[in-house]
Amino acid sequence: MSTVTGSTTDLPLPLGEDRHRPSLHIHPRHGWLNDPNGICRIDGRYHVFYQHNPAAPVHEDVHWAHVSSTDLLRWGDEPIALAPRPDGPDSGGCWSGCVVVDDGTPTAVYTGVRSSSQDAGVVLAYSDRALRAWTPAPAWTVDTPDDGAISDVRDPFVFAYDGHRYAVQGAGHQTGRPQLLLYGCDDLAEWVPLGPLLTEDDPTAAAVAGANIWECPNLFQLGDRWVLILSLWRDHVLSGVRYLVGDLVRVGAGLRFVARAGGVLDTGPSFYAPQVLVEPDRVLLWGWAGEGPDRTPADVERAGWSGALTLPREVCIEGDIVTLHPARELVGLRRERLGLESGALVDAAAFEAVSGSPLRLVLIGPQGARIEVIARVAGGRLLVDGSMVEYFGPETSHTTRAYRPADHRWSLESEGPVELWRLGLEDPDS
């Protein structure tokens, strides 16, 4: 897989010598990555954009980078899609948003930041169906609301309901309460404010998703239920991702989301700001996996890159329980099957384990030193790729980062049989 734009000639650490670098996940060759944006499928090709600083592995000067694929396995670089414009409505960064096809025209609907995150509005940008060249509008389509209860707005997400098009926008106050703002946008250039879609007055939302700001909202129908995904900004800390299951109800000219259940979408420490792609037969999702606490700023600077996206996942629901599972296409990454006895060392940079019995993932070092990466979990699927670790069980998923010391090796400890595959992409010349 190849990702990102930006020069690689000045990488402090040669690509082939970085054992923490994934080979199968979307991530930057150089620079910074955070939220996935604008995920869409147009003319048979999947497009994933993400927030990216091409100059350095720090969260500054945010662009939209772009990769595409026809099979969800092999991702190719595309040109940078959006870049901050001096003195423009996005001079401080092109932050999160989505892509919709508006009367045949792919249109990015994103957060343009000027001086700070408290100075932000919605910006539109237009492209052809190749999505390689974009023309952004010269001004915000929607300004920051004049409301003392709102200090921050961001991350517009467009959805359809009852024959009309709406947008939901994350909002809240850095020392106050969160809310989601709703707009009617049948005409993408003319947004009509319709009040809050959701506030903490909803008791289920308050119990499940307490925060100061709700970020990166995703609202979609799954079966006969509506699912709302929220990333939590709480006390200046990114505080995980929650889902709510409920109903949309008419209130005057607008809508309200009424939650009836909810929970944690992924229990791991390295999962935030996911975005979905609603397809006719499924809902796909990617999340941002930031670097873990064991990765120091000096480590990141030396490596020259920071952040990765998860592998694509399918969103499933049973009753009011939402779970994530690897996209069905990912079995195409399996190469040869490896033999394994419980506790044996795994000699593969990327691998997948499947077990119906409880298992652990540990790093084994000299003199039996142990670093536990995944504590005892129920049987499921475990995918490891460089420093990316993704576990999928029957009731939960767990995303984390693990930085294997040079003198340590992976080891799987299972209480029953394990199927193990080395993961990789086929040699295009084979």
String of DSSP letters for 207-219: HH---SEEEEEEE
Averaged over 245-265, what is the pLDDT? 96
Residue 14: partners with Cβ closer than 8 Å, 6 or more residues away = none
Position 11 pLDDT exceeds 80: no
Judge whether 223 lies within some domain.
Answer: yes
Averaged over 143-156, what is the pLDDT? 94
**CA–CA distance, 285 with 336 (Å, rounded to integer):** 27
Position 203 pLDDT exceeds 80: yes
- The one-letter code for the residue type at 273 is A
CA distances from 229 to 205, 214, 264, 341 (A): 11, 10, 10, 39
Averaged over 393-412, what is the pLDDT? 95
User: What residues does 402 pair with on adjacent strands?
Assistant: none
Averaged over 314-340, what is the pLDDT? 95
Judge whether 6 lies within some domain.
Answer: no
Residue 13: per-residue pLDDT: 61
Averaged over 307-327, what is the pLDDT? 97
Domain hosting 336: range is 332-423
Do 58 and 158 belong to one domain? yes
Do 351 and 317 belong to one domain? no
Do 118 and 188 belong to one domain? yes
Averaged over 12-24, what is the pLDDT? 81
Q: Which of 269, 296, 326 delimits the end of a domain?
A: 326
Judge whether 380 lies within some domain.
Answer: yes
- The one-letter code for the residue type at 357 is S
Two tokens, residue 139 = 């001004």
H or E stretch covering 230? strand 225-234
Position 196 pLDDT exceeds 70: yes
Position 314 pLDDT exceeds 60: yes
CB 113 within 8 A of CB 134: no
Residue 2: per-residue pLDDT: 31
**CA–CA distance, 375 with 117 (Å, rounded to integer):** 38
Judge whether 430 lies within some domain.
Answer: no
**CA–CA distance, 315 with 283 (Å, rounded to integer):** 5
H or E stretch covering 241? strand 237-251
Q: Which of 292, 326, 360 delimits the end of a domain?
A: 326
Lowest mean pLDDT among 35-49, 95-109, 185-199, 367-381: 367-381
What is the tally of structural domains in the chain?
2
Residue 17: per-residue pLDDT: 81
- Catalytic residues, by residue number, are 35
Location of structure tokens 């299951």: 245
Do 409 and 267 belong to one domain? no
Q: Which of 346, 340, 349, 351 is nearest to 414 (CA)?
A: 340
Averaged over 179-194, what is the pLDDT? 97
Do 301 and 361 belong to one domain? no
Judge whether 384 lies within some domain.
Answer: yes
Residue 189: per-residue pLDDT: 94
Do 150 and 25 belong to one domain? yes
Residue 342: per-residue pLDDT: 79
Position 325 pLDDT exceeds 60: yes
Q: Which of 307, 326, 345 delimits the end of a domain?
A: 326
Percent of the chain residues past pLDDT 90, beyond the cut: 88
Judge whether 1 lies within some domain.
Answer: no
Residue 193: per-residue pLDDT: 97
Judge whether 243 lies within some domain.
Answer: yes
Q: Which of 322, 219, 214 is nearest to 266 (CA)?
A: 322
Residue 386: per-residue pLDDT: 97
CATH number, domain at 126? 2.115.10.20
CB 242 within 8 A of CB 276: no
pTM of the model: 0.94
Instruction: Tell me what the pLDDT averaged over the chain comes to.
Output: 93
**Phi (first) and psi of residue 232, to 5 degrees:** -105, 120
Please, what sign has the CA dihedral across residues 244, 283, 167, 240?
A: positive
DSSP 301: H
Position 4 pLDDT exceeds 80: no
Averaged over 219-241, what is the pLDDT? 96
Do 289 and 359 belong to one domain? no
Lowest mean pLDDT among 14-28, 171-185, 322-336: 14-28
Residue 341: per-residue pLDDT: 80
Residue 16: per-residue pLDDT: 65
**How confident is residue 428, by pLDDT bands cut at 50, 70 and 90?**
very low
What value does the CA radius of gyration of the chain take, rounded to a whole number of Å? Answer: 21
Per-residue model confidence as pLDDT tens digits over 343-388: 788 989 999 999 999 999 999 999 889 999 999 898 899 999 999 9
Percent of the chain residues past pLDDT 70, beyond the cut: 95
Do 106 and 247 belong to one domain? yes
Following DSSP, what letter does each residue of 7-47 receive, concatenated?
--TT-SS-GGG-TTS-SSS---SSEEEEEEEEEEEETTEEE
Position 429 pLDDT exceeds 70: no
Q: Which residue has the higher pLDDT, 185 or 417?
A: 185
Averaged over 307-312, what is the pLDDT? 98
Q: Which residue has the higher pLDDT, 387 or 415?
A: 387
Do 271 and 411 belong to one domain? no
Averaged over 242-265, what is the pLDDT? 97
DSSP 344: P
CA distances from 378 to 14, 155, 343 (A): 38, 35, 17
Do 49 and 148 belong to one domain? yes
Residue 192: per-residue pLDDT: 97
Residue 12: per-residue pLDDT: 52
Do 71 and 186 belong to one domain? yes
CA distances from 134 to 85, 189, 340 (A): 13, 16, 50
Do 181 and 300 belong to one domain? yes
Judge whether 3 lies within some domain.
Answer: no
Residue 3: per-residue pLDDT: 34
Position 312 pLDDT exceeds 60: yes
